[in-house]
């Protein structure tokens, strides 16, 4: 028992000694101090923390390779500017001058090392003019104006299939968009809109033959799908209209515009059109206003609009959302 | 408020006040001055690394002693002692205070006692029932019929409920039964000096060599009446059946007790223990109104003998039940309440300090040292897990942008990570040692359980979070607020409760 107690006492005093002897070093290290053996003084240092994506990059500090690879920290650095170079095989190197301050961490932790040969992959197998990506269904839609065809594939470029034909007489497509229900799409140019159903997507409600909508007097700037996948919101150089995507439909004029080609954004989720239009001030100069036009699914709204004569109620319908 | 009450309340407030003070100050510093907070946390982390290594080394030493003495033939050693030492005249009184434990708990304890290697005619067994337990008399009769013939004497006592000055505590029951044993000894004209008394929890199954070892140490120790004798408690009775959570907690408790056995200057009686009957009578038995009677009895001896009283560790095991219940949630509650009752040992602090103030014969340095040890152990218990698990990360989260740019903010998690690595390495030692103290695997339990017993140690951080510090904070807060705990024994049994 006595021997055990002697050993225990020895261990206890060793532990106490280790604590009091080690603690100053631990704390000075933690606070960023370094003991200078030449001057026999503590010097406050800083550190650089390097983290890259991908990890494992070689780190050069002032041209000297350090043993650790990223992520790594270089501690006990005297304050000053350091040249940091990060190198990873087959990736573009990264270089920067990093300022180190006493007692502080200089973080170089948002470095992305881009590959020299990026993972570039060609997805299309044939020529195309325009494309659309459906992230939700992981599909790519290609539109080929020369062959007058729309085809699609999966996101990883498999399962190619033709899904629609474009009309022969439709010239110079300005834009296109697939309907929210993914059953059809429109193409448009300056004076025409053409709604085309994908193959085998028609049902009793809608015709499967293309729907042509003509705008001989106006210039079409942009077209959007309403969330019901039936109405189109058309922005011309003169007004904003809604029109049903059926043959012979008549447009409803919602807003008359002052400016020829306003900017616009359509929120399909909420059925809200944001657009800018110009207005003349008292001194004769023009300035822009931003408007919000709500078109939410709301047939009653459309019905109400239909009952109003064209061009009326512009002031009532424009809602100013910003100066 | 009179002066005595004022001192009593002040002493009751000190441990909880200190623990809460440390926690609140550290949390506040994390927001107000994160650098200071980080320095304190790093210092504490470093202290904890050294402490963990130190205590694990003590554990290895205690384990070594336990295993070295495992196969000792203590009875033969006692018989080889000089006749002057009086082994042949030595009697053993064994008290089992029964709260409401049933026969399924009491039978194995008595069966283990009847299987010991020791002259049974020298054994006086006292089954100490509570009168208020409606099954007490029936159980007493059944056990008497089964076991009374196996021992030198067998008594059943029934402690009346609500005696003046008593609380419903184990100590009150043990004292009542010890007084009954005293009458029995007087009747038989057995001198108290020739009697060693052991007070065992109801689920205690003694090792076959326990009383040989106890007698040997009692007879050969200097100032044998000025000592308590403490076996190593292990929770092996139902360890193979207990859920991981409860098993790990109890293994850790056993290890803590083994570590304490190496620190004699701090060693205090815990749970099942033995002592001279003469001393027990002289110090007026166990306290009848305190929950932590097992440790208070040591302090009563310490005060009575003016500091010349000690606990002698016996490197022989007594096996107890792991406390668990029918599902993990109830098991956590059971374990939490048990640990809170243990942590209620903080009530010793006002008792001891008051005793020190009244006793002028104990050297001041001893008073200061023992008071400090007592206070430090309870405060550390209440704050260590909170500092390591809860407060440790606070400066990083709430230190703000300026602090996050500082070198210490970068180094704090690195040093904390180092602490956990060290804890992992020491855990490997604990895993190995826990394996060596396991009882043989019962039939019907797969060998895969051995693998599981090792893998379950990954739950340790979770256990630390649940019952690392919170029971101690709970107990100290109750004492601080004067909301005194009532004795609430841990439900135990070999079967799931």
The residue of chain B with its CA nearest to that of A75 is B407
Q: All domains of chain A, ordered by start, with CATH?
A: 41-112 (2.60.40.10), 167-322 (2.130.10.10)
CA distance A21 to A8: 20
Structure tokens given for B144: 């008497």
Distance between B430 CA and the closest CA of chain A, angstroms:
19
Structure tokens given for B109: 């304890």
CA distance B323 to A121: 64
- Whether A47 has its CB under 8 Å from any CB of chain B: the answer is yes
Q: What is the pLDDT of residues B252-282, one digit of tens each?
A: 899 999 999 999 888 999 999 999 999 999 9
Is pLDDT at B345 greater than 80 in this prediction? Answer: yes
Structure tokens given for A117: 């040969």
Residue A297, pLDDT score: 62
Is pLDDT at B447 greater than 50 in this prediction? Answer: yes
Rounded mean pLDDT of B36-46?
93
B108-111 long-range Cβ contacts below 8 angstroms, 24+ apart: B108/B203, B108/B205, B108/B237, B108/B494, B109/B200, B109/B202, B109/B203, B109/B204, B109/B205, B110/B143, B110/B146, B110/B147, B111/B205
Helices and strands (H and E) in chain A: how many: 3, 25
Contact B489, B170 (CB under 8 A): yes
- Whether A72 has its CB under 8 Å from any CB of chain B: the answer is no
Is pLDDT at B307 greater than 80 in this prediction? Answer: yes
Q: Where in chain B are the domains? A: 3-66+367-481, 72-328
Contacts of A18 in chain B (CB under 8 A): 50
Task: Give one DSSP letter per residue of B357-392, joined into a string.
Answer: HH-SSS-HHHHHHHHHHHHHHHHHHHHHHIIIIIIT
Q: Do A103 and B407 touch (CB under 8 A)?
A: yes
Residue A186's CB is within 10 A of a number of other CB atoms, namely 22
The residue of chain B with its CA nearest to that of A12 is B54
CA distance B206 to A70: 59
From A23-32, B245-254, B304-313, B441-450, the region with the lowest mean pLDDT: B441-450
Residue A267 main-chain phi, psi, to 5 deg: -90, 100
Q: Which of A1, A30, A102 to mutate to test the interface with B (most CBs of B within 10 A)?
A: A30
For residue B211, what are the β-bridge partners?
none
Residue B496, pLDDT score: 35
Beta strands in B118-264 (DSSP E): 123-130, 153-159, 195-199, 205-206, 227-234
Q: Which candidate from A15, A29, A46 shows the least CB-CB separation from B54?
A: A15
The helix (run of H) or strand (run of E) holding residue A140 is strand A139-144
Omega prior to B106 cis, within 30 of 0: no
Interface of B with A (CB under 8 A): 38-39, 42-43, 46-47, 50-51, 53-54, 57-58, 61, 65, 262-264, 404-412, 415
Contacts of B408 in chain A (CB under 8 A): 30-32, 103
What percent helix, strand, coil does chain A show, rounded to 5? 15, 45, 40
Question: In sequence order, what are the residues at sequence separation of 6 or more whose Cβ sits closer than 8 angstroms to the Cβ of residue B170?
Answer: B97, B99, B286, B291, B293, B487, B489
Instruction: Output Rg (C-alpha) for chain A, integer angstroms.
Output: 34
| Residue whose C-alpha is closest to residue A258's, from A314, A316, A180 | A314
Structure tokens given for B403: 């602090």
CA distance B44 to A262: 66
For residue A96, what are the β-bridge partners?
A84
| Residue whose C-alpha is closest to residue B468's, from B335, B346, B345 | B335
Is pLDDT at B318 greater than 60 in this prediction? Answer: yes
Contacts of A105 in chain B (CB under 8 A): 404-407, 409-410
- The ipTM value here is 0.84
DSSP state of A78: P
CA distance B465 to B469: 8
Beta strands in B36-151 (DSSP E): 91-97, 123-130
Task: Give one DSSP letter per residue of B149-176, joined into a string.
Answer: GGSSEEEEEEEPTT-TT--S-HHHHHHH
Contacts of A26 in chain B (CB under 8 A): 42-43, 46, 415
Q: Do A19 and B50 touch (CB under 8 A)?
A: yes
From A197-201, B237-241, B419-423, B479-483, the region with the lowest mean pLDDT: A197-201
Q: Do A4 and B50 touch (CB under 8 A)?
A: no
Q: Do B406 and A104 touch (CB under 8 A)?
A: yes
Dihedral angle computed from the Cα positions of residues A29, A31, A32 and A38, in that order, rounded to the nearest 10 degrees: -60
Q: What is the mean pLDDT of each run of 10 residues along chain A (323 residues)?
A: 82 95 91 83 90 96 95 91 96 95 91 86 88 92 91 92 87 91 92 87 52 88 93 93 89 86 88 90 86 76 53 44 37
CA distance A223 to A242: 10
Rounded mean pLDDT of B144-165?
94
Residue B158, pLDDT score: 97
Q: Do A4 and B405 touch (CB under 8 A)?
A: no
Q: What is the largest CA-CA distance in chain B?
A: 80
CA distance B47 to B422: 12
CA distance A217 to A215: 6
Query: Which CATH superfamily, name and number, covers B72-328?
Result: Spore Coat Polysaccharide Biosynthesis Protein SpsA; Chain A (3.90.550.10)
CA distance A211 to A179: 14
Question: In sequence order, what are the residues at sequence separation of 6 or more whose Cβ sits closer than 8 angstroms to the Cβ of residue B425?
Answer: none
Cα-based distances in Å from A99 to A48, B402, B404, B405, B417: 9, 16, 16, 13, 28
Please tell me which residue, A30 or B92, carries the higher pLDDT value. Answer: B92
Q: Do B38 and A30 touch (CB under 8 A)?
A: yes
Beta strands in B8-58 (DSSP E): none
Burial class (CB in 10 A: 0-12, 13-18, 19+), B27: middle
Contacts of A71 in chain B (CB under 8 A): none
Q: Which candidate from B42, B53, B262 shows the least CB-CB separation from A4?
A: B262
Omega prior to B311 cis, within 30 of 0: no
The helix (run of H) or strand (run of E) holding residue B182 is helix B170-188
């Amino acid at each position: 028992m006595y021997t055990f107690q002697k050993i225990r006492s020895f261990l206890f005093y060793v532990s106490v000694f280790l604590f009091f002897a080690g603690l100053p070093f631990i704390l000075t290290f933690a606070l960023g101090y370094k003991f200078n053996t030449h001057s026999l003084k503590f010097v406050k240092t800083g550190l650089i923390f390097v983290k890259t994506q991908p990890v494992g990059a070689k780190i050069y500090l002032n041209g000297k390779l350090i043993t650790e690879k990223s992520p790594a920290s270089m501690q006990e650095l005297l304050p000053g500017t350091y040249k940091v170079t990060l190198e990873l095989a087959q990736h573009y190197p990264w270089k920067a001058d990093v300022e180190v301050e006493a007692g502080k961490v200089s973080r170089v932790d948002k470095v992305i090392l881009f590959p020299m040969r990026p993972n570039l992959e060609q997805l299309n197998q044939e020529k195309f003019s325009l494309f659309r990506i459906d992230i939700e269904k992981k599909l790519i839609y290609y539109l080929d104006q020369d062959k007058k065809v729309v085809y699609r594939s999966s996101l990883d470029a498999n399962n190619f299939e033709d899904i629609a034909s474009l009309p022969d007489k439709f010239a110079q497509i300005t834009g296109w968009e697939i309907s929210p229900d993914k059953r059809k799409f429109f193409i448009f140019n300056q004076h025409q809109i053409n709604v085309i159903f994908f193959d085998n997507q028609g049902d009793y409600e809608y015709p499967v033959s293309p729907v042509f909508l003509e705008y001989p007097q106006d210039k079409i700037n942009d077209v959007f799908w309403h969330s019901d996948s039936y109405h189109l919101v058309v922005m011309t150089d003169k007004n904003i209209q809604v029109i049903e995507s059926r043959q012979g439909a008549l447009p409803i004029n919602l807003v008359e515009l002052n400016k020829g080609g306003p900017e616009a954004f359509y929120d399909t989720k909420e059925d809200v059109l944001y657009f800018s239009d110009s207005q003349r001030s008292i001194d004769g100069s023009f300035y822009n206003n931003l408007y919000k036009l709500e078109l939410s699914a709301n047939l009653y709204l459309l019905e109400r609009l239909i009952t109003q004569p064209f061009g009326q109620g512009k002031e009532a319908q424009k809602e100013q959302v910003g100066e | 408020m009179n002066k005595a009450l004022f001192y009593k309340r002040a002493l009751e407030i000190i441990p909880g006040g200190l623990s809460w003070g440390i926690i609140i100050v550290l949390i506040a510093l994390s927001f107000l001055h994160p650098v200071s907070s980080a320095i304190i946390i790093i210092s504490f982390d470093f202290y904890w690394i050294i402490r963990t290594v130190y205590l694990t080394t003590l554990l290895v030493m205690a384990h070594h002693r336990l295993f070295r003495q495992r196969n000792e033939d203590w009875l033969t050693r006692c018989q080889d002692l000089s006749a002057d030492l009086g082994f042949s005249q030595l009697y053993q009184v064994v008290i089992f205070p029964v709260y409401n434990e049933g026969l399924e708990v009491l039978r194995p304890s008595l069966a283990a006692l009847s299987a010991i290697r020791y002259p049974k005619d020298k054994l006086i067994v006292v089954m100490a029932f509570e009168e208020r337990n409606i099954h007490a008399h029936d159980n007493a009769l059944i056990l008497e019929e089964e076991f009374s013939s196996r021992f030198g004497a067998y008594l059943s006592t029934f402690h009346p409920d609500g005696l003046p000055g008593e609380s419903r505590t184990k100590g009150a029951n043990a004292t009542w039964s010890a007084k009954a044993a005293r009458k029995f000894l007087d009747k038989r004209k057995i001198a108290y000096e020739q009697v060693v008394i052991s007070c065992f929890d109801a689920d205690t199954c003694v090792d076959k060599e326990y009383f040989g070892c106890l007698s040997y140490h009692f007879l050969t120790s200097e100032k044998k009446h000025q000592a308590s004798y403490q076996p190593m408690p292990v929770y092996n009775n139902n360890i193979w059946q207990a859920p991981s959570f409860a098993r790990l907690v109890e293994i850790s408790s056993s290890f803590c007790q083994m570590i304490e056995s190496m620190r004699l200057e701090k060693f205090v009686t815990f749970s099942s223990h033995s002592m001279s009957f003469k001393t027990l009578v002289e110090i007026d038995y166990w306290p009848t109104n305190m929950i932590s009677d097992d440790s208070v009895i040591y302090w009563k001896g310490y005060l009575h003998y003016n500091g010349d009283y000690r606990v002698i560790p016996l490197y022989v095991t007594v096996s107890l039940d792991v406390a668990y219940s029918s599902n993990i949630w109830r098991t956590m509650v059971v374990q939490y309440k048990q640990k809170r009752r243990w942590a209620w040992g903080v009530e010793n602090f006002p008792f001891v300090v008051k005793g020190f103030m009244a006793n002028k014969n104990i050297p001041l340095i001893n008073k200061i040292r023992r008071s400090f040890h007592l206070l430090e152990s309870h405060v550390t218990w209440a704050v260590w897990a909170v500092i390591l698990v809860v407060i440790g990360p606070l400066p990083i989260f709430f230190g703000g942008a300026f602090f996050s740019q500082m070198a210490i903010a970068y180094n704090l998690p690195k040093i904390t990570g180092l602490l956990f690595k060290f804890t992992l390495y020491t855990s490997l030692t604990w895993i190995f040692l826990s394996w060596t103290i396991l009882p043989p695997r019962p039939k019907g339990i797969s060998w895969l359980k051995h693998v599981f017993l090792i893998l379950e140690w990954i739950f340790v951080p979770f256990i630390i979070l649940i019952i690392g510090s919170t029971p101690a904070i709970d107990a100290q807060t109750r004492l601080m607020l004067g909301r005194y705990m009532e004795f609430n024994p841990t439900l135990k049994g070999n079967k799931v409760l």
